[in-house]
């Protein structure tokens, strides 16, 4: 007989026995097939190769993963939607005013300039740079938190996730069998299963525990690989069966140096474990004694059958019906936790019948294997990672459904799901309700059960609609004994319900689902190369809790992109409106096309990018996942706020400054109406202002460019307030604080750049920028204060009356 480790292929944490008999129609579950890439951990065998290369299970899984079309990421769809929207608006306005200008008698070249100016004013030229920098910064931040991002766009996808389909073995659990419970002296004792345990046994102690640990140490073929004395026990490499390795590490932590213990009690005979007997026996020479000690471990019911007494508190008691009932109760309780239970017994062989040098025959068995002394039970499980329950709870509070999808046994899967909170305390499955009521499972209405454990064999018979019904009706779901194809089917089932699905896994069997998911997350340490290749993100520490960090970062990047776009779009109104007034009212042009580019690609660029550094608001992990249909990156509420509210105030600031400087130089607003034709004509060198002074063409143009420079400065001044209010969508600025020093630098940068453009010699010829009087810098300041006060009041109303009209109309 041979045992193989199928964990990377099927998700089963325990080694699986292989034999010549076909035991199941499913090739993944039958015992007479061993798979390419799995490891033999015990025994030897001869086999016939039936498939090679792409026809192996590994090859088929790799082919299944490589042939999947993943489609666009959510953030790519959002940006595409925004580009279509803004392009439509820009082209519509540009063409409309091109036609209007043509109708009003403007020269066709002038009309084309209007067209270009309006399109340039509408397009946020720095958007792509902002998005790329935001994604890169977040990916860098996540790398420092052990999340390696392979695909930049995947950063935001994790924040949009509404369902996480997680593998069990190695992802939710530690991928190492560990002694979890012991039963001795008629009591169950819990053992330390944490990832950094320093001790194993109970502090209770006593002769029964000593005997139990001694049997586990001696009746054990697992060994530590040499040269690991300085390595912590749990990290040492071992040879042997996973369950025996668990016992080996347990006894090493309890007794100390296990090698010394075994050397003091050398093995003189052994009956290895086999599927017929279902037990293992070894006989040892005991120090300071003339007797040999027989120790046995195996299937609890088989071990109990060969015992006649039980060790209780250091005394042997006859094994009566009451003790057997106590045994059965403990056995069922430990088995119900999804743990693998082993029974332990011993027997001190009489020295008169088995003297020193006795030849033990393990074939004919010339020693007693009945009438032994039962000592206790030990149960093992692949324990959950310490941080997983808290991570699952955080996901649930963030509105994210966590689903277990594993190839392991349903009982084990359900037990782990309960221990980590995927199935919450008090939640029942259909089977639980049936047991509680004492009725057949068929008589229970599935809608009554909040949780569901679905077996792979049942999944194979399900239609798409039946799977969809399970997904809709149950909030806590465990899929067990699933094949790679079924994992893929489960992911597609959630996606068809409109869910954004993240898949976590470490095995080859997870790779198709990792590839198909909106975002695949692989384990960096225990993960297979195939799973890492299929994934979009790799958890370098194999810690499921890192996903919560990723979700928060993903939500933060979406929030910050919204804020950055809101900041960028707001200045479109003061950029567009000068062209509209120029066409409709015939006033000298308040803002030029080149100046617009100075705003979009100059002063606005660093502040827009600085919003990527903004800290999360307090409600970021308390919100439900965003709805991909309703919660767009750019929605009507953002457009309303940016264009219809803040943008209008900014445009007012620009025109106020423009008219102030014109009036300061002799041109009152009423006299500017339809002055454009004379103003722009080189033939007029005697245009009169409101005081009757004559202005030459050159002087008029200097005044026009000075006004355009002042209009540009006004936009910079009101963008100060716009940048500050864009820091938060709900919180007050007082709550959010001004600790984003990149943003603070952005404020200084745009001011310094505007100052440089105004006063740098030579830019009056290059960019038509002219120096301003110092007082003209303050014309727009009251409007900047107004923007700040207005938006603080708006956000106060959102916090004060959640769900009210203000939130409904302005919360973007």
By residue count, the chain amounts to: 812
Q: Is 590 helix (H, G, I), strand (E, B) or coil?
A: coil
Distance CA 760, CA 719 (A): 22
Distance CA 114, CA 95 (A): 9
Report CA 610 to chain centroid distance, whole Å. Answer: 24
Task: Find the helix or strand (DSSP H, E) in which 572 lies.
Answer: helix 572-585
Which residues of 83-159 form beta strands (DSSP E)? Answer: 147-149
Residue pointed to by tokens 């009152």: 668
Contacts of 254 (CB under 8 A, 6+ apart): 199, 200, 201, 213
Q: Count CB atoms within 10 A of the CB of residue 43.
A: 16
Contact 287, 326 (CB under 8 A): no
With residues binned 3-state (H G I as helix, E B as strand, rest as coil), the percentages for the chain, rounded to 5, are 50, 15, 35
Contact 450, 475 (CB under 8 A): yes
Contact 575, 121 (CB under 8 A): yes
Structure tokens at 700: 């008029």
For residue 225, count CB atoms less than 10 angstroms from its CB and return exposed for 0-12, middle for 13-18, buried for 19 or more.
Answer: exposed
Distance CA 438, CA 61 (A): 42
Q: Count CB atoms within 10 A of the CB of residue 633.
A: 22
Structure tokens at 424: 């919450």
Distance CA 773, CA 763 (A): 17
- CA distances 378 to 297, 326, 340, 532, 595, Å, are 10, 15, 8, 36, 78
Q: Count CB atoms within 10 A of the CB of residue 342.
A: 25
Structure tokens at 597: 């580019």
Structure tokens at 554: 């993903």
Q: Which residues pair with 279 in a beta bridge?
A: 298
Q: If we measure between CA atoms, which residue out of 607, 606, 603 comes closest to residue 575? A: 603
Contact 385, 195 (CB under 8 A): yes
Contacts of 732 (CB under 8 A, 6+ apart): 792, 795, 796, 799
- Among the options 54, 69, 167, 285, which is catalytic? 167
Structure tokens at 82: 């925004």
Q: Is 241 in the active site?
A: no
Q: Is 436 helix (H, G, I), strand (E, B) or coil?
A: helix
Residue pointed to by tokens 């919204």: 562
Distance CA 468, CA 564 (A): 38
Enzyme catalytic residues: 167
């Amino acid at each position: 007989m041979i045992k193989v480790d199928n964990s990377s292929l099927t998700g089963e944490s325990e080694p699986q026995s292989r034999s010549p008999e076909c035991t199941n129609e499913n090739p993944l579950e039958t015992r007479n097939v061993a798979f390419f890439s799995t490891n033999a951990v015990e025994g030897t065998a001869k086999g016939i190769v039936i498939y090679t290369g792409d026809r192996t299970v590994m090859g088929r899984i790799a082919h299944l993963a490589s042939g999947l079309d993943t489609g666009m990421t959510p953030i790519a769809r959002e940006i595409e939607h925004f580009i279509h929207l803004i392009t439509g608006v820009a082209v519509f306005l540009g063409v409309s005013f091109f036609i209007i200008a043509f109708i009003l008698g403007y020269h066709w070249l002038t009309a084309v300039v209007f067209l270009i100016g309006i399109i340039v004013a509408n397009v946020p030229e720095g958007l792509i740079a902002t998005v790329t920098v935001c994604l890169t910064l977040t990916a860098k931040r996540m790398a420092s938190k052990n999340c390696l991002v392979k695909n930049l766009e995947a950063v935001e996808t994790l924040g949009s996730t509404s369902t996480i389909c997680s593998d069990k073995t190695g992802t939710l659990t530690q991928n190492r069998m560990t002694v979890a419970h012991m039963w001795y002296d008629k009591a169950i004792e819990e053992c330390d299963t944490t990832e950094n345990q320093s001790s194993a046994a109970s502090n209770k102690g006593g002769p029964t525990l000593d005997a139990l640990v001694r049997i586990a140490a001696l009746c054990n073929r697992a060994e530590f690989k040499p040269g690991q004395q300085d390595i912590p026990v749990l990290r040492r490499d071992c040879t042997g069966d996973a369950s025996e390795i668990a016992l080996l590490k347990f006894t090493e932590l309890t007794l100390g140096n296990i090698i010394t213990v075994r050397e003091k009690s050398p093995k003189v005979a052994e009956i290895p474990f086999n599927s017929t007997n279902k037990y293992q026996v070894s006989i040892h020479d005991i120090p300071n004694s003339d007797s040999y000690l027989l120790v046995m471990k195996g299937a609890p019911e088989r071990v109990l059958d060969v015992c006649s007494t039980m060790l209780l508190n250091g005394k042997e008691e006859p094994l009566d019906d009451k003790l057997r009932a106590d045994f059965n109760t403990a056995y069922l309780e430990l088995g119900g936790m999804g743990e693998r239970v082993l029974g332990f017994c011993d027997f001190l062989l009489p020295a008169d019948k088995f003297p020193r040098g006795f030849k033990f025959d393990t074939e004919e068995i010339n020693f007693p294997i009945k009438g032994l002394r039962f000592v206790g039970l030990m149960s093992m499980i692949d324990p959950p990672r310490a941080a997983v329950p808290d991570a699952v709870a955080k996901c649930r509070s963030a509105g994210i459904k966590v689903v277990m999808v594993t190839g392991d046994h349903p009982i084990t899967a359900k037990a782990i799901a309960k221990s980590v909170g995927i199935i919450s305390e008090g939640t029942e499955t259909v089977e639980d309700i049936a047991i509680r009521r004492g009725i057949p499972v068929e008589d229970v209405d599935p809608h009554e059960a909040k949780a569901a454990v679905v077996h792979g064999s049942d999944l194979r018979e399900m239609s798409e609609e039946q799977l969809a019904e399970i997904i809709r009706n149950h909030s806590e779901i465990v899929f067990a004994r699933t094949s790679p194809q079924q994992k893929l089917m489960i992911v597609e089932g959630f996606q068809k319900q409109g869910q954004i699905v993240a898949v976590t896994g470490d095995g080859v069997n997870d790779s198709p689902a990792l590839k198909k998911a909106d975002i695949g997350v692989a384990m960096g340490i225990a993960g297979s190369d195939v799973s890492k290749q299929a994934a979009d993100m790799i958890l370098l520490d194999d810690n499921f809790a890192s996903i919560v960090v990723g979700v928060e970062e993903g939500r933060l990047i979406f929030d910050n992109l919204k804020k950055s776009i809101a900041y960028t779009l707001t200045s479109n109104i003061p950029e567009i409106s000068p062209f509209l007034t120029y066409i409709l009212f015939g006033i000298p042009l308040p803002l030029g096309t080149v100046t617009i580019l100075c705003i979009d690609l100059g002063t606005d660029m660093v502040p827009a990018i600085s919003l990527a550094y903004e800290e999360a608001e307090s409600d970021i992990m308390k919100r439900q996942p965003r709805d991909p249909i309703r919660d767009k990156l750019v929605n009507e509420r953002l457009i309303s706020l940016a264009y219809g509210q803040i943008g209008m105030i900014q445009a007012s600031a620009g025109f106020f400054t423009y008219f102030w400087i014109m009036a300061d130089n002799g041109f009152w607003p009423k006299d500017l109406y339809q002055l454009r034709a004379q103003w722009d004509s080189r033939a007029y060198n005697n245009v009169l202002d409101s005081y009757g002074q004559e202005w030459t063409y050159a002087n008029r143009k200097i005044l026009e460019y000075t006004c355009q420079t002042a209009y540009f400065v006004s936009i910079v001044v009101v963008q100060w307030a716009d940048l500050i209010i864009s820091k938060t969508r709900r919180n007050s600025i007082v709550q959010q604080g001004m600790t984003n020093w990149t943003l603070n630098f952005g404020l200084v940068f745009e001011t310094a750049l505007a100052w440089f453009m105004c006063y740098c010699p030579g830019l009056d010829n290059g960019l038509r920028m002219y120096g301003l009087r110092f007082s003209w810098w303050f014309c727009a300041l009251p409007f900047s204060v107004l923007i700040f006060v207005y938006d603080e009041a708006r956000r106060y109303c959102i916090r004060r009356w959640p769900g009210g009209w203000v939130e409904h109309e302005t919360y973007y």
